[in-house]
Chain A
Amino acid sequence: MDTETNVAVADTPAGAATEPAANESVVIETRNLSKIYRDFWGRKKVHALKSLDIEVRQGEIFGLLGPNGSGKSTTIKLILGLLFPTSGRVLVFDKDAGETQKNERIGYLPEESYLYKFLTAEETLDFYGRLFDLSAAERRERVSKLIEMVGLQGAKSRQLKEYSKGMTRRVGLAQALINDPDLILLDEPTTGLDPIGTREMKDLILGLRDQGKTVLLCSHQLADVQDVCDRVAILHQGELKELGRVEDLLKVQDITEVHATGLSDEAKREIADVISRHGGKLESMDNPTATMEDLFLNIVRESEARPGARRVSQRPDSADGQSESDSGGSV
C-alpha cells in the first residue's frame, strides 16, 4: 500500500512542454480480451468485446473511441474488475484486474457520477478518502484542495441531491482524484458538462498528464478526444479498428493548408492561379468559421470581464460570408 503524502492535484493549465510517453512502461495491458454477455441460462446475448489487445503506457492520455455499444465502457469495466473477462486477461500495474490492491493507484470517474445523494460534497470526499485508509489530517487536506480545484467551495456543505449535473460531475471527478492516483480512468468525462466545464475538464486532463499520470478515457465526443488524447483506439462492434497517435491518424497527407491574413481578392486569385499552374487543384478558398465552442467561450469570457448586458452585434446577412471579426482568408 503506497500512499504518497504530497497531494499533487492539477490546477496548472496545459501548456508546458509535453513529452508524451516519455516513460514507455506499460500501465494497462489487455491480452486477447473478450467479453460475451450471457443471459441467465448462459445463452450468448452480445459479443461486446472481441480479442482486444491494447497497451496504455505511463504518462499518456489514451482515448477509447467509438459509437454507442462499441465496447468502450465494457473495456473500462473489465480493466477495473467490475466485469470478469470471458477470455483473455487485463493487467493493470502488472496485477490482474480482479485484484483489489491495484485500486490503490487508480482513480475512476464513472459514466454518470454514481454517488450517495444524501451526502454532502465534503462528506462524499471524506468517505472515499476513508476507503483509501487515509488519516484524518490527510483527508482534510485533500478534501479541501480538491473541492477548491473543482470549484465547489460555495456548495460543499449541500447534499448532492441538490446539485446540478455538472456539479455532481465535478464531485465525481474530485472523488476519482482523492487518492492522488497514478492511473485515471474517465468514462465519458465531458457528458453533462457545459462548454466551460468541458474546457476545464480538458485542461485538467492535460494537467494530470503533465504531472506524469496516465489517463485512459472513453468518449464519443470526437472533438474532446482530438483535443486531449495522445493516442486513441477506435472500437466498433467490439473490435479494434484503429490504434495510433492522434496526429498521425488525423494527418491528411495530400492536402496543404495555408492560413494568411491581409490578402486582397486579387491576391487570392493570383494564388489560385499559382496552384493551378503547379498542377494542383484548388478545393476551396474561404473565410473559416470559428467553432461554436470558441464563440461561446469568447462570449462568456467577455461577459465575465465586463458584466452587464452584452451588445448583440447586428451582423449583416452577407452573401459573401464576410463578418467583422474575421479578417483572414484561408486556402
Chain B
Amino acid sequence: MTLTLFVGAIINMLFLASMYILIALGFALLFSIMELLHVAHGVIYMLGGYLCYSLSVTLGMNQWLSLVLTVGIICCFGPVLERFFFRPFFRDFDRTLLVGIGISTIIETTMALSKSNEAQSLRAFATGILKMGPISVSNERLVTFLIGALLLLAVMWLIHRTKVGLQMQAVGQDLEASLLQGINIYRISALACVIACGLAAVAGSLLGAYMGLGPFMGDFVFQKALVLVVLGGIGSIGGIFVAGLVVGGIDAFLPLFISGSATSALAIGIIIVVLLLRPKGFFGREMGF
C-alpha cells in the first residue's frame, strides 16, 4: 500500500466515521433514553433528504436555508411520533418495533411509488477540492465531517451539561426513580424524539447531497446505527464516537485489501468478535429488556 493510498484511507475513515456518527446520533439518543429501537429512523433520514431537495432544487431556495427549514419541519414529526406512535406503547419493545416497521413500510412504499424512477441528488453543500500535496479532499466531505463532529459535541454537551440532558440520563437509567423525582418522562421522550428527527434530517440532507437520493436510501441507516449503538454501548453517547471510528476504519481500509462483497461479511464478523469480547460494547451498560 502506498503512502497516498494510506493517507487517502485515513481521510475516508474520518469521513465515514463522521457520516455514521451523524446517522447514529439520533438513533442512539432514543435507544439510550427510551429504550426504543427506532426502526423508522431511516425513513426520517430519507424524508429529510427529499424535503431539502424539494426546498432547494424544486423551489430554488438557498441550500443552507433549505437545510435549516428541513430540520425545523422534520423536528415537528418528533412530538407527533412520541405522542401517537410511541407513548401508547412506552417501553413495550415488541409493539414499538412493530409500529416502527409499519411507519417505515408505509412511508418507503409511498415514496417508492412516487419517486422510484427518478435519479435525484441535492447539490453539494460546499464545492471545490482542498489539495495538500498528493492528497486531496473535497470541501463537501470536510463540511460533512465538521458538521458531524459539531453535532456530536453539541449532543454530548446537552446530555452531560444541561438540566434537560441530566433528566434524559435519569430516564434512561431508571424510569421509576425519574418519576419519583418529578421528571416528566413524556416531555423528555418528546424532546428526545425532536432531537433525533432533527439529527436524521441533517444527516439525510448532507448525505443526500453526497450520495444521492432514493426511496430506499434509509435502509442502510438502521443497520449502521444499530451497529454503532451496540458497539459503542447502550447508554453511552460518547461511545458512538469510538464505534464510528472503528466501523469507519473497517469500511475504509478493508476494501483496499479484500475485494467485493466479502468486505461486508468480514466487517460484520469483526464487529461480532468485538462484541464477544466486550458484550456491553465499549462503554455501555446492560440492555434493560
Same complex origin of A and B: no
Interface of B with A (CB < 8 Å)?
none
Interface of A with B (CB < 8 Å)?
none
